[in-house]
Amino acid sequence: MRSHGTALSIGALFGAGLVVSGMAVPTRVIGFLNVAGAWDPTLLFVMASAVGVYALVSPRVLRRQKPLFSESFGIPKNRKIDRDLVLGAALFGVGWGLAGYCPGPALVALGAPSSEVVTFAVTMTVGMLLHSAMKKEPKAEPLVAASTPAE
């Protein structure tokens, strides 16, 4: 399907961007995050360039009637700054600072499998599944059912 071929190509383009920019090399990312060490500002320029292109061009895309392969543009509508957002970002930040991987670079680097990146990818997947499982869980029921006989 043309839609899937396009998705694959865009994924590959994004991956190429990660590789070319150096963001798929954790030591470079840690070099940026470790502001107390020999600071490597590369990530700043990568983000600035990415944001620059996206900010400049996406408004023009959004003026179109509809995307090529779907019915409407999906921009997140949630505007709340809530605990989940802040806590989630904090947990993510800690994980990112520890190993120097975030989801995109980790997946790209699976193309060059190493024990580090495979370990990360596996536990990242587990972490995501854990979140899904917790989200589905209803509020804890009382431990004692109404009709439990007295002990």
Partner 1 sequence: MGSSSFLPALFGGALLGAAGVLLMWTHGRVLGISGIYGGALGRAPDRSFRLAFIAGLVASGMVAHWLLPTAPLGRSPTPLAIVAVAGLLVGFGTRLANGCTSGHGICGVSRVSVRSLVATGVFMALGMLTACMVHAVLGVRS
Binding to partner 1, residues 19-48 (CB under 8 A): 19-28, 30-31, 33-38, 40-43, 45-48
One symbol per residue from 67 to 106: x for binding partner 1 (CB under 8 A), - otherwise; what is it? xxxxxxxxxx-xxxx--xxxxxxxxxxxxxxxxxxxxxxx
Q: Which is nearer to partner 1, 45 or 150 (CB)?
A: 45
Q: Least distance (Å) from partner 1 to the CB of residue 137?
A: 14
Least distance in Å: CB of 140 to partner 1?
A: 19
15: Cβ contacts below 8 Å, ≥ 6 apart = 104, 107, 108, 111
C-beta closer to partner 1: residue 78 or 147? 78
Size of the site for partner 1 (CB under 8 A): 116
> How far apart, in whole angstroms, are the C-alpha atoms of residue 130 and residue 133?
5
Q: Is residue 121 within the footprint of partner 1 (CB under 8 A)?
A: yes
Interface with partner 1, residue 66, by CB under 8 A? yes
* CB-nearer residue toward partner 1: 98 or 148: 98
Residues near 120 by beta carbon (within 8 Å), at least 6 away in sequence: 99, 101, 106
Which is nearer to partner 1, 55 or 143 (by Cβ)? 55
> Per CB under 8 A, does 4 bind partner 1?
yes
The Cα diameter of the chain in Å comes to 69
CA pseudo-torsion sign 81, 87, 92, 94: positive
- Min CB(141)–partner 1 separation in Å: 23
Q: How far apart are the first and last CA of the chain?
A: 63
Q: Which residue has the tokens 């972490």?
A: 127
Residue type, 16: A
